[in-house]
Structures are given as C-alpha cells and as structure tokens.
Amino acid sequence: MSKKNQTLGEFIIENQEDFAYSSGELSRLINSIRLAAKVVNHEVNKAGLVDIIGAHGETNIQGEDQQKLDVYANDTFIKTLTNREIVCGIASEENDDFITIEGHNKDHKNKYVVLMDPLDGSSNIDVNVSVGTIFSVYRRVTPVGTPVTKEDFLQPGNKQVAAGYIIYGTSTMLVYTTGNGVNGFTLNPALGSWYLSHPQMKFPETGTIYSINEGNYIHFPQGVKDYIKYCQEEKPEGPYTSRYIGSMVSDIHRNMIKGGIFIYPKSSQNSSGKLRLLYECNPMAFIVEQAGGKASDGFDRILDLKPTELHQRVPFFCGSTKMVEKAEEFMTAKDR
Ligand SMILES: O=P(O)(O)OC[C@H]1O[C@](O)(COP(=O)(O)O)[C@@H](O)[C@@H]1O
Ligand SMILES: [Mg+2]
Ligand SMILES: [Mg+2]
C-alpha cells in the first residue's frame, strides 16, 4: 500500500517504534484523541446550522467569554479520555484546576497526563473561520499508583512524549508528533477515516509570511516594532506578506506549509503576552521543532522554560528557523 493511502490506525500499528516505551498506552491515547476529534469536528461543521454558536455566558479562569463549542469540545475530549481510563490526569485551558483520573480500580495505574486547549481560536466560530484543538502528552513524574499532583503537569516542554493539533478547516486534519518527526492526516468525512496526507512535514527554513496582530502595534516592545518594519522593507527575495487569522493553529499550520513566522509578543498592556505556555505554546513548539522550525519567547527556547503555574502565559515567536532567529536579533538588540 502506498504511504498516502495509509490510515492513522494503520500508521500507528506500523510505527510502533514511535511508541516503544508505552506498552500500548500511548497508541490508545492517540486513538482516543482521533475519536474525540471526529466528534468535535462533526459539531464544529454544523455550528452554523444549530443554535450552538455565541457566548455561553460563562467566563473561564482568564476572564474570557467561553463559546458553547469550547465547552462542548472540552467535555468531549475529557469524557473520551476519562471513559477509556488511559490517562491519569488532564489539564485544560477551560478548567481552573487539573482533573485526576483514578482508573477503574481506583489504582491510579496509568502513566500519562494530557494538557489541552480544546478549542483554539474560538472567537472565529461565528464567522465560519478555521479553529483547532491542541494537545500535549507527558509521562507522569510522581509514582504510578498514587494520585497525580501539579508537579506532573508543570513539566518543561522538552519532556513531552507527544503533541498534536487538529485543524477544523476546509478539510479537517490531525497533525502530531511522538518525537520522531511530524505527520499530518486528513479526515475523509464520508468514511470517518484519517488518511496520511502530509508524511514527515517540514517547516521551510525561511519564508515570506509574518503573522502578528498589528492592531496592537503601539503596545509592542521596540524589538517587535523594529522586526515588523524589517518585514515591510524591500528585500531581494521579494516582499513579505502579512497573514493573521487569529486562530493560532491555523496561522501556524499555514506557515508550516508555506514558510513564515507567527508572533504573539508581550505588550505594554500584557507583560507575558496572551498565549498559554502549557496548552498552546509547548505543544506547538514541540511540533514545530520536530518539523525543523524554531520556537522561543523572543530570547529563550520555549521547550526549556520551567512552568510555575497551570495557566501561565508566555510571549511566543514560532516558525521558520531563519525568520525566528532574525526576530530574536531585533529583540536582543532592544529588549533584552
Ligand atoms: O485576537 P488576538 O489578541 O490577536 O488573539 C488571537 C490568539 O488568541 C487565540 O485565539 C487564543 O486561543 P483560544 O481561542 O483558545 O483562547 C489564538 O488562537 C490566537 O492566535
Ligand atoms: Mg487557544
Ligand atoms: Mg481555547
């Protein structure tokens, strides 16, 4: 069978070496995520048809309005993973605290914790623009057989054993890594199967797309302002293009295919930026590095940061290696 016709199920079976230390637990975890993703995809696709869009009337811990689909996606991923009892804990952007999963015999025997942003870019739902899900998997650091603690979730990103995202776009894709490159699978909605459509994805070393919310320009650090000016200057390789969807998964997915940089910097209004280290930046940084790209906070590697709290935010510079390095030069010159 040609690799292109391979389904995700077949891919997992044929690449068991990627799951070498997991005795089937990690493969079952990815299988559960692909199932939950199909359920969420079905709901996202009919968002315009049913009265499910719009603010839910609650606010999450960051004080932001939750959309109904945020809640739905959160519940779906949590229930799917909890019912199958294949993880020992879950932390979600939509929950104040982590969830402990005891297991059927209350023996806390599972090894992995999952951290997730169940619906990324949710403000795009009611205008029919792509949204996503981001997930991150770590091996617990506390002993198996005991309840998980915060320590299991506050691990640096370089300890991730798997990470991925789902993009609910014109096609729905699941892109993930277990630390052995990045593979992308496209959902055939008629069959409900994920097909390997993007084997061994590679982030172009450089590109001409820059993605940043320039509406916040006056609040940006000087290094970011200088980098934006640099992007707008004439260059031998041709002009740069500004593209910003406002849904990080979609912005980074496009840049990974075409070459580009995504920046969400700190600002005079927000000293740590907006994006969450554990639910958004670490998993995307792992994927991007595995595809040959680079991710930093403008100075230091995202994956080496030691988290101190679950909902911690961090400035994020991510994309084609040469472009991130160039942005870091401007940051170091003015903001170090
Ligand atoms: O509107 P802004 O400030 O540019 O923020 C956009 C960013 O916020 C996010 O939507 C945050 O994600 P959530 O929808 O999960 O809160 C990113 O996906 C996106 O890059
Ligand atoms: Mg998000
Ligand atoms: Mg979200």
Tell me the domain boundaries of the chain. Answer: 3-198, 209-335
The tokens for 87 are: 């993880």
pLDDT bracket for residue 54 (50, 70, 90): low
pLDDT digits (tens, 9 = 90+) for 26-46: 999 999 999 999 999 998 988
User: 0.90 cut: is pTM over it?
Assistant: yes
Question: 93 a known binding residue?
Answer: yes
Q: Measured between alpha carbons, how far is residue 314 from residues 35, 50, 183, 273, 307 in Å? A: 31, 36, 26, 6, 10
From the CA of 264, give the closest atom in ligand 1: 20
Q: CA-to-CA distance for 55 and 252, rounded, in angstroms? A: 26
Question: 58 a known binding residue?
Answer: no
Residue nearest to atom 20 of ligand 1 (CA): 248
CB of 274 within 6 A of ligand 1: the answer is: yes
pLDDT confidence of residue 66: 59
CB of 178 within 6 A of ligand 1: the answer is: no
In percent, how much of the chain has pLDDT > 70?
93
| Architecture of the domain defined by 209-335 | 3-Layer(aba) Sandwich (3.40)
Q: CA-to-CA distance for 268 and 253, rounded, in angstroms? A: 28
The tokens for 272 are: 């740590």
pLDDT confidence of residue 237: 80
The tokens for 160 are: 């991730």
Question: 122 a known binding residue?
Answer: yes
From the CA of 117, give the closest atom in ligand 1: 15
Q: What is the mean pLDDT of residues 69-87?
A: 93
Sheet with 316-319: list strands edge to edge: 241-242, 209-211, 260-264, 316-319, 294-296
The tokens for 225 are: 């302002």
Nearest to 93 by CA among 113, 68, 112, 66: 66
From the CA of 123, give the closest atom in ligand 1: 14
pLDDT confidence of residue 184: 97
Q: In angstroms, what is the span from residue 280 Cα to ligand 3's centroid?
A: 9
* Cβ proximity of 246 and 131 under 8 Å: no
pLDDT digits (tens, 9 = 90+) for 275-295: 999 999 999 999 999 999 999
pLDDT digits (tens, 9 = 90+) for 200-212: 999 999 999 999 9
Element containing residue 13 per DSSP (H, E):
helix 8-14
Q: In angstroms, what is the span from residue 166 Cα to ligand 2's centroid?
A: 12
pLDDT confidence of residue 20: 58
Q: In angstroms, what is the span from residue 112 Cα to ligand 1's centroid?
A: 27
Fold of 3-198: Fructose-1,6-Bisphosphatase; Chain A, domain 1 (3.30.540)
The yes-or-no verdict on residue 315 having pLDDT over 90 is yes
pLDDT confidence of residue 2: 47
